[in-house]
Structure 1
Amino acid sequence: SVVVHHELGYTLAVVPSTHRIELGRLQDVMDKRLGLASEDEVILLFDDCDTGAIPPIGAAYDVPVIVDESLGDAADVYFEGGDHRTLVHVSGKDFR
């Protein structure tokens, strides 16, 4: 999960760990000028999470989420549960 900021606030961009955010392409998809949120911004938004362990559950933080299309067919999804010790496993169907 990567937090980006734009003129209306923040969005959580969810990509597989083997991928990188393509900010230019994401800007085109969202039709907004984007930038990566600073560490301080992320800490304020996700104050109960360890730095760098943001779960892809934006609704819990009132942050919109955009999910990489490559996760659309995933049978299983694993992600950090807000710290670097907890691994959450959900079916791809439940994740979607």
Structure 2
Amino acid sequence: MPISNRLDHYLTEHHIHFQTVNHSHSHSSLQSGVAAGVPLNNLAKGVILEDHQGRHVMAVLPANNKISLSRLNDEFNASFHLVKEREVYRMFTDCENGAIPPVGSAYHILTVCDEVLANLDYVYLEAGDHETLIKLDKEAFKELMGESRYLRFSSEVFH
């Protein structure tokens, strides 16, 4: 399974220029970054959250960072929690489990993006499988994030 159908359609429909980077099979975004030889702080991952009213939000942050739910809860005056993996799998049926593209708008999910990613020259994304990354330059990434809200809500975790 190469690029997810929804993501491919979204990229085409919005005329977003990208490159693909193939790598050996992995089991996580961190492993994908290592296998592809890309800096982990340049690899974006999507974390699906749910608020106290059952609304979903995708938080997009560097793969080597940890999300601060308290920061997001304060910013949005909400009570977010992580969505269970099996529910995430049901939301992204065109993707391999654990390889969701961090592009909430392609899946009609409100998105918040860590501002660290907006300042990078290149950002890499999971493409929906465990063997392909998408490479975007700064302008293409900002275009892909569209109406996403940018703020600082993660911190680097050292591995």
What range is the shorter-chain TM-score in? over 0.9
- Residue 126 of structure 2, aligned match among 71, 77, 80: 80
Displacement of 1:45 in angstroms is: 1.1
| Aligned pairs, number | 96
In the alignment, which residue of structure 2 is the partner of 1:56?
Answer: 102
Give the superposed CA RMSD: 1.1
Give, as a single letter, the amino acid of the residue that structure 1 aligns with 2:49: V
Structure 2, unmatched stretches of 5+, are: 1-45, 143-159
CA deviation vs aligned residue, 1:13-34 (integer Å, no higher than 9, x gap):
0000121111111111222110
Give the aligned residue type for 2:72.
L
Q: Determine the structure 2 residue equivalent to 1:45.
A: 91
Q: What is the TM-score of this pair, normalised by structure 1? A: 0.93
Cα distance, 1:8 vs structure 2: 4.4
2:80 aligned to which of 34, 40, 49: 34
Considering fraction of residues, name the structure with more helix: 2
Instruction: State the Cα deviation string for residues 40-72 of structure 1 (Å, max 9, x = none).
Output: 210111111112211111111111110001112
Q: Secondary structure at the match of 2:65?
A: coil
- Unmatched tracts of structure 1, length 5 or more: none
Q: Secondary structure of 1:15's match? A: strand
For the pair shown, the structure with the greater C-alpha radius of gyration is: 2
Once the two structures are aligned, what percentage of the paired residues are identical? 38
44, 55, 61: which one pairs with 1:15?
61
Between the two structures, name the one with larger relative contact order (CA 8 Å, sep ≥ 6): 2
After TM superposition, which residue ranges in structure 1, 4 or more long, deviate above 4 angstroms? none
Distance 2:118 2:133 in 1: 20
